[in-house]
Structure 1
Amino acid sequence: MSSSERASSAALRTRSPTPSSAAPTTGITIYGCGPDEAVLFRELAPRCGVTPTITEAPVSEANVDLAFGNRCVSVGHKTRIANPTLLALRRAGVEYISTRSIGYNHLDVPYAESIGVAVENVTYSPDSVADYTLMLMLMVVRNAKSIIRRTDIHDYRLDDTRGRELRDLTIGVVGTGRIGAAVMDRLRGFGCRVVAHDNRPGDSAEYVPLDELLRLSDVVTLHTPLTADTRHLLDRRRIARMKHGAFVINTGRGPLLDTEALLSALESGRLSGAALDVLEGEEGIFYADHRDKPVDNKPLLRLQELPNVLISPHTAYYTDHALSDTVENSILNCLRFESGNQHG
């Protein structure tokens, strides 16, 4: 077992629910389960009175038979689940899907509900994504990509562009749920001005309309869910309203940004840089090894060529603590459903 798996297991030993709260005959089929998740499911599930059926393959019409006899399944977020697969799951007797993610955009929730399948997400440590967001923010305003590339080829001269300090900047946080709020908590320690936008404002930030946030902010960071209303939230029109020389951070969902509009603004110099952990069209590319095969996403390739753009493969959530939370809460969601105590 790797050190990360040992750490995750240790965390679970201290935070596991008591077995008495679980029905001893509950079965859960776990689809799209990576090796690190499988270690945790195999350790925690028996303690909760759960018999897990685990497969690394994403759920599909070809493998719904693995769910026969189980009303609940747990699915990953890395592969889209087509409606025919949802229907096949229902016909196999599945009534509940726990998705091991905060977002739902990889499956059609209204369709699932229309055929009698309830869908619920999981919560996990917001600190995982919040920490990563701050790391990307610091890296992009300090030109880390260019600096690291130079030192990798033993060029130790100072970069042509000086970095900026967060205390001198205004940071705009779009979406102030658990992750956005955790980002704001961290930003306060840097002494910068923070402005926020959310359809349901809280009381611990300076909330402004979105266009005002774009006008004011030196850095805009996106933490809103992906819905029909937020798809291309930053489109060509809104990007044109951003402060000249601003930076964009996206650790939310790729389609929150219009990639072509972002590219135009970066290539023209209107924006100074971007750090993206998520991207439009990432499906089938992120989480796979493409060293010996072509990448079929031209905007991604154009972005990676730019010296002021950082790309990472949807990894902000991926920490020991968050993975433990995800596995544990996926099991607990299924147990609550089985006991009739579903929660919204």
Structure 2
Amino acid sequence: MKIAVFSTQSYEQAYLDRLNIDFKHDLTYFEASLNANTTNLAEGFEGVCVFVSDKLNEKVIEKLAKLGVKLIDLRSAGFNNIDIQAAKKYNIKVLRVPAYSPQAVAEHAIALILTLNRKTHKVYNRVREGDFSLDNLLGFNLYQKTVGVIGTGKIGAVFCKIMLGFGCKIIAYDLVESENLKAIGVEYQSFDEVLKNADIISLHCPLTEKSHHLLDATAFDKMKEGVMLINTSRGGLIKTEDVIIALKSKKLGYLGIDVYEQEDGLFFKDFSETIIQDDIIERLMAFHNVLITPHQGFFTKEAVEQIMKITLKNFTDFEQGLVLENEVVMS
């Protein structure tokens, strides 16, 4: 199958080239993201392969349909960057990678918690400069702390199990409660109760119209003073302007984010020799108690290989007319 792969990173191409020896698809790589200005690059291809940074609204999808594209394959689990209804309207199938390594993202959330708490990122730089003092490095025990988990799907479930290993009390909110998690000690509460009772809150839910800005000023007002907030899910779950206010008022004591509401055009790129034009993220980076990573939660060898394998299999399933087990279907 002839596929145009957009927003290609060098590591992705290396994995795809190696794994595609078995699948034998015709892949063409583009560093450019797929959007209204780059749709013409898809001419002559049966399908496009995209990432979270690609934006496929109805205008883009209409153009893709006119070019003969029949398949959109996401190298991600989330699909909020695709107009699914428009794809259906123009008879384009949308496939994704629903699960690749929940451990990778869950473990990254733990890394953010431990780093923010014990300030190891600051210690690294201080020790390299010969400063071995303990000033301003005081942390807290995770043992017996109450951890609130918003979303207990595959990633959230792994996160819960890891935090139970630290001896934490786990309270959770999800529209669908897991009996397996209940059996090992996870207690489900209402959304407001989780906000009120948790010392640490970690987000593991998808971004939808209903969950957009799930955490805003109203939500922050319900939280404990000095709470730690972790987001490795989607940036749009948090209203960033309200986060800044919560940090300034010390309602939020710690913020760890691997995703950012306006990360498009920023994450996955090097701005070390230029000026970042995003004033909001510059403000966030100015806080000593904020830790930002560039959407790397998924970035392990095991996860990347699994993502690429499933992506290639999606091409094959579509090409051979097989059941599309990873198709995105809106009700």
Alignment TM-score, normalising by the size of structure 2: 0.90
In structure 1, what residue type is equivalent to 2:218? R
3-state SS, counterpart of residue 114 of structure 2:
helix
Measured against aligned partners, the alpha-carbon deviations of 1:183-225 in whole angstroms (never above 9, x if no partner) come to: 1121121111011111111111311111000111000000100
3-state SS, counterpart of residue 272 of structure 1:
strand
Q: Is the 8 A contact 1:53 1:66 kept in 2?
A: no
Q: Is the 8 A contact 1:75 1:100 kept in 2?
A: yes
Matches within 5 A, 1:120-139: 120-122=95-97, 123-139=99-115
- In structure 2, the partner of 1:83 is 58
Match of 2:72 among 81, 97, 100: 97
3-state SS, counterpart of residue 74 of structure 1:
strand
- In structure 1, the partner of 2:157 is 181
Residue 338 of structure 1 and its aligned partner are, at CA, apart by: 2.4
3-state SS, counterpart of residue 233 of structure 1:
coil
Match of 1:262 among 219, 225, 243: 243
**In structure 2, distance between residues paired with 1:76 and 1:221:** 24
**In structure 1, distance between residues paired with 2:28 and 2:84:** 23
- In structure 1, the partner of 2:166 is 190
Describe the shift of the 1:66–1:263 C-alpha distance in structure 2 as closer, same or farther (beyond 3 A): closer
Q: Is the 8 A contact 1:184 1:194 kept in 2?
A: yes
Which stretch of structure 1 is more off in the superposition, 306-315 or 109-118? Answer: 109-118
**In structure 2, distance between residues paired with 1:217 and 1:64:** 45
- In structure 2, the partner of 1:293 is 274
Matches within 5 A, 1:235-246: 235-246=216-227
Q: Is the 8 A contact 1:172 1:196 kept in 2?
A: yes
Describe the shift of the 1:161–1:268 C-alpha distance in structure 2 as closer, same or farther (beyond 3 A): farther
CA RMSD of aligned residues (A): 1.8
In structure 1, what residue type is equivalent to 2:324? Q
**In structure 2, distance between residues paired with 1:110 and 1:153:** 55
3-state SS, counterpart of residue 56 of structure 2:
coil
1:110 aligns with 2:85: yes
Q: Post-superposition, which runs of at least 4 consecutive aligned residues in structure 1 deviate over 6 A?
A: none
- In structure 2, the partner of 1:23 is none
Measured against aligned partners, the alpha-carbon deviations of 1:271-324 in whole angstroms (never above 9, x if no partner) come to: 211111111111111111112222122221111111111011111111111111
Residue 159 of structure 1 and its aligned partner are, at CA, apart by: 2.9
Q: Which runs of 5+ in 2 are unaligned?
A: none
In structure 1, what residue type is equivalent to 2:155? I
**In structure 2, distance between residues paired with 1:330 and 1:172:** 33
- In structure 2, the partner of 1:22 is none
3-state SS, counterpart of residue 333 of structure 1:
helix
Residue 244 of structure 1 and its aligned partner are, at CA, apart by: 1.3
Q: Is the 8 A contact 1:146 1:307 kept in 2?
A: no
Describe the shift of the 1:67–1:302 C-alpha distance in structure 2 as closer, same or farther (beyond 3 A): closer
Residue 65 of structure 1 and its aligned partner are, at CA, apart by: 5.4
Q: Is the 8 A contact 1:146 1:159 kept in 2?
A: no
**In structure 1, distance between residues paired with 2:76 and 2:10:** 17
3-state SS, counterpart of residue 106 of structure 1:
coil
3-state SS, counterpart of residue 128 of structure 1:
helix
- In structure 2, the partner of 1:281 is 262
**In structure 1, distance between residues paired with 2:37 and 2:224:** 50
Match of 2:14 among 20, 34, 39: 39
Q: Which runs of 5+ in 1 are unaligned?
A: 1-25
Residue 78 of structure 1 and its aligned partner are, at CA, apart by: 2.2
Matches within 5 A, 1:312-323: 312-323=293-304
Measured against aligned partners, the alpha-carbon deviations of 1:226-256 in whole angstroms (never above 9, x if no partner) come to: 0110111111001110111110001111111
- In structure 2, the partner of 1:342 is 324
- In structure 2, the partner of 1:202 is 178
**In structure 1, distance between residues paired with 2:217 and 2:146:** 22
Describe the shift of the 1:293–1:319 C-alpha distance in structure 2 as closer, same or farther (beyond 3 A): same
- In structure 2, the partner of 1:305 is 286
1:71 aligns with 2:53: no
- In structure 1, the partner of 2:211 is 230
In structure 2, what residue type is equivalent to 1:234? L
Describe the shift of the 1:30–1:268 C-alpha distance in structure 2 as closer, same or farther (beyond 3 A): same
**In structure 2, distance between residues paired with 1:206 and 1:147:** 35
**In structure 2, distance between residues paired with 1:224 and 1:142:** 26
Residue 70 of structure 1 and its aligned partner are, at CA, apart by: 4.0
Match of 2:142 among 160, 166, 172: 166
In structure 2, what residue type is equivalent to 1:227? T
**In structure 2, distance between residues paired with 1:193 and 1:146:** 28
Name the % identity: 32
**In structure 2, distance between residues paired with 1:330 and 1:323:** 10
Residue 104 of structure 1 and its aligned partner are, at CA, apart by: 1.0
